[in-house]
Structure formats: structure tokens, C-alpha cells
């Protein structure tokens, strides 16, 4: 599978990643070589094989649907990590324009 520059640009858009022009062409050939390598999977007969998402048979781990407070120290630490804030509010660009 050989990726074109246009395909790399499309994947970058889906991934929300900005790439420079040089990166686009380097990525096109580097990603293509990895995709060519993984294409060997097509040779494996997987008819009647159940996909395996997880290595352990752990299913449906539930807890009570109750909120647990994190405490002021953790809360303050979280707020301090905001890139931009106004008092205790997180400042962001307008989502709807």
C-alpha cells in the first residue's frame, strides 16, 4: 500500500495534526513501508477466527454509579494545569461560530 501526499494530508486532517511540507513527503514513504510490511497479514487464513480485543477474559467490571469527590488538592492541581484560565474556568476558543 503506497500512500500519496494527498492521502497523508487526509490522514493528518483526521488526526488533527499539522505537518510541514518536508514531513508530508517523508511520512508518505515511511508510513508506506510500514503498511507494506503489515500487509503480510492478508496471507493468514482467519475464517472462523474470533477477533481478540483483550488477552484476559475480564468482562463488564461495574461499580456503583456514584460521584466521588477528588478533594481540593487534586482539584487545584488540575486547575493549575489549564493552559488558559479565568478564575476557575477553562478558557477555550468558541466552539460554535
Partner 1 sequence: MPGMTLTEVGAAFDEGALTARELTEKCLTVARQNADTTHAYVTLTEDEAFTAADAADERIKRRSRLSILDGVPVAVKDNMLVAGIRATAGSHIITNYVAPYDATIVSRLKAAGAVLVGKTNMDEFAMGSSTETSCHGPTRNPWNTEKIPGGSSGGAAVAVAEGSAIVSLGSDTGGSIRQPAAMCGVVGLKPTYGRVSRYGLMAMASSLDQIGPFARTAEDAARVLSVIEGRDPMDSTSVDLEPSWKVPLRFPSSLKGLRVGLPKEYFVSGMDSDVERAVRDAVAALENLGAEIKEVTLPHAEYALAVYYVLMPSEVSSNLSRFDGIRFGTRVAGASLEETYRKSRGTGFGKEVRRRIMLGTYALSSGYYDAYYLKALKVRRLISNDFAQAFTEVDVIATPTSPSVAWNIGEKFDDPLAMYLSDIYTVSVNVAGLPAVSVPCGFSNGLPVGLQLIGRHFDEKTILGTAHAYEHAAGLREQLSSPTSIK
Site residues for partner 1 per CB under 8 A: 3, 8, 11-12, 14-19, 23, 27, 30-31, 33-35, 37-38, 40-42, 44, 46, 49-56, 58, 61, 63, 70, 74, 77-78, 80-84, 90, 92-95, 97
- CA-angle at 89, arms to 88 and 95, nearest 5°: 175
What's the maximum distance between 2 C-alpha atoms anywhere in the chain?
59
SS3 89: strand
**Using CA atoms, how far apart are residues 40 and 43, in angstroms rounded to an integer?**
6
- From the CB of 83, what's the least distance to partner 1, in Å? 4
- From the CB of 10, what's the least distance to partner 1, in Å? 9
- From the CB of 31, what's the least distance to partner 1, in Å? 6
Amino acid at each position: 500500500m503506497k500512500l500519496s501526499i494527498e492521502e497523508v494530508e487526509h490522514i493528518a486532517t483526521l488526526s488533527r495534526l499539522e505537518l510541514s511540507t518536508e514531513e508530508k513527503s517523508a511520512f508518505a514513504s515511511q508510513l508506506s513501508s510500514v503498511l507494506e510490511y503489515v500487509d503480510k497479514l492478508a496471507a493468514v487464513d482467519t475464517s472462523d477466527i474470533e477477533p481478540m480485543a483483550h488477552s484476559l477474559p475480564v468482562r463488564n467490571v461495574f461499580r456503583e454509579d456514584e460521584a466521588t469527590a477528588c478533594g481540593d488538592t487534586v482539584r487545584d492541581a488540575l486547575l493549575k494545569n489549564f493552559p488558559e484560565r479565568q478564575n476557575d474556568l477553562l478558557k477555550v476558543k468558541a466552539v460554535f461560530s
